[in-house]
Chains A and B, each alone.
Chain A
Amino acid sequence: MSVNTLPTPQKPWKTTNRQRFSTALLIVAAALISLVIIGSTGLNGKLGFLSTLFITSSLLIFIQQWRLRDKAAAKDSLLSSFALLGMIMTVIPIISIVSTVVIKGYKGIHIGMFFNDMSLNSVNDPIKQGGLLHALVGTIIMVGGALIISFPIGVLTALYLTEIRGKLSRPIKFLVQAMSGVPSIVAGLFILSSLVYPVTKSLSGMMGSLALSILMIPTIARTSEEMLRLIPSELREAGVALGGTQWRTVAGVVLPAAKSGLVTAIILGMARIIGETAPLLLVSGGGDSINLNPTSGAMGSLPYYIWKAFLTGGTEEAFARAWGGLLVLLAFIFILFGLARFISGRRVS
């Protein structure tokens, strides 16, 4: 038996503390230089400082890399800096929006709001009175209704584009793309003029669902189409070669393989419409009391609740109420996304 001489696992490719220290030194130096530049020129404010800091630190790291290694490494470091900048520019607005909503909204949150509606209260009442149950219920009913209408239509459209590949594929694809650019107010006006005025003659949650569907179908159709295109054609061939008809192959092989992609399509579709205010104002109005019947009567929604509190109030309470509503809407969207990730993540790859 030989002596156990197992080497300890190491990661020689990792950045060493020494390298980290020198980079940190460079950034501190860049910060000092930026302060000097800010002090001696007309630039000022946080934004001025941050942009100067970015430029000087990128330059310093560029020079350092050039001296330590070569031109290629220096260019590499410059590209890394820009990638970092891009990342920061994406993340900062998101963090800023979420943190603003959380900070301003949590004052408007109390447990009672999930059990009460606004039928007996005005937006200017103390925040502990009334609630947004009616808006939450209305949003769930209308978005759920829109989903029930849009999901089959959207997926069938995607199947036409990817599986049947008929002569109309190109024009339909173009139409679907064009439709995803339809302004939401147009969807509302369309339902208003084609159904509400001539047929039902009254506002209702179902009309809201229909208007939202117009916005949701293109998103679901396009996302499902992309997801179905990711399914390798070998799987379709295998299904057909086993004696399946095209429809059974689609139902038994293609759609199950695309399951997580279809869940993504649903989530993106819901995210597209959940904050829509304009079409709902037109066709489902906005109630202040709970309405569980989507076929008749005005129906409230979270965006309407927020809109009303911001616009018709004016007091501290009304603003707190609006921010609270925003926080609930945001949380609702996050929960949806989390749920979708959870469902689609259970797939075995």
Chain B
Amino acid sequence: MATEYGIAESSNNKKIEEKKMQTQVTPSSLATVAGNREVRVPGSEMLGTGLETRGVHAWFGSKHVLSDVSLDFAAGTVTALIGPSGCGKSTFLRTLNRMHEFIPTAALAGQVLLDGKDIYAPGIDVTKIRLNVGMVFQKPNPFPSMTIGQNVLSGLKLAQIKRSNTDELLESCLERAGLWGEVKDRLNEHGGALSGGQQQRLCIARSLAVAPQVLLMDEPCSALDPGSTFRIEQTISELAKTMTIVIVTHNMQQAARVSDYTAFFLSDGGPGAMIEVAPTSKIFSSPVDKRTEDYVTGRFG
């Protein structure tokens, strides 16, 4: 069971091969991968002080799907949310930029603090929140009516942000998303003409254009092949230098590779809850909770 994660990563890419060498998947080997990343101390050069949640609960209709999650995301860190399907991790992610309320039956309790201010407080402009906390979805969803270039800059149009040097912004966003080299000559083509992995990087570039301080990623690689996954992980590592990233993933190798902290979510039939959060290397080497250990060693889920 556990070795599937190693096999799933098969790729011609040398770096991945190297990582596989180190990680013939046991909990301790996952921890080795994670240990290779230095855990960043919240940087003073970062904008803002990060994102915190206080006792977040979530409901759909009368169904309680998420219970009492308090979790801090320090500025400039990458946090992975792992756990089996239906454990509420995606729901939790969507409470962080108020996309939760997009579903008509949704309800919520608790606080989500961005730079110390509750994003659910009355009088808060929800569009401003979403500008500061961007999101990349599971399925690549470039806007079909727009060209590649228009897609990247669409956030400016949607949020009515005036900017003069859009060409520069276009290039830097695509550059940071690791897509510039592949699309610089075809900016006027439609986004649908790109491959799935390129579309997802286009979506990342699109969320970067409005300069968010936090980027939420909801299983961004689950629809992609290993090569594209590797490119996106590289992109995440690059982006983590300048922003806070929260990523939901089913791929524990990925969590180990890209994240500084990992939070494990689980539902025991009732609402999902956060079982444990710790530096990623610790989660994969010496988790405190038995259920976390069972999950990361592939004994269930």
Contact = CB atoms under 8 A, between A and B. Distances in A.
A342 B179 CA distance: 34
Interface string A124-161: 00000000000000000000000000000000000000
A315 interface: no
Interface stretch (B64-72, B123-131, B260-268): B123-131
A165 B157 CA distance: 25
Interface in A224-255: 232, 234-245, 248-249, 252-253
Contacts of A237: 99, 102, 135, 137, 141
Contact of A249 (B134, B158, B206): B158
A170 to B, nearest CB: 14
Contacts of B128: 243
Contacts of A298: none
Contacts of A314: none
A249 B145 CA distance: 13
A257 interface: yes
Nearest to B158: A244
B130 A240 contact: yes
Contact of A241 (B104, B134, B143, B144): B134
In this complex, the interface size class of chain B, counting residues with CB under 8 Å from chain A, is 20 to 34
Given A348-B190, A349-B192, A242 B141 contact: no
Contacts of A256: 143, 145-146
A308 interface: no
B207 interface: yes
Interface of B: 97, 99, 102, 104, 127-128, 130-131, 134-135, 137, 139, 141, 143-146, 154-155, 157-160, 190, 192-193, 203, 206-207, 210
Interface residues of A, number: 24
Contacts of A257: 143-145
Nearest to A260: B145
Nearest to A249: B158
Interface of A: 165, 232, 234-245, 248-249, 252-253, 256-257, 259, 347-349
A248 B128 CA distance: 14
B144 A238 contact: no
B145 A253 contact: yes
Given A234-B139, A253-B145, A257-B145, A239 B192 contact: no
Contacts of A259: 145
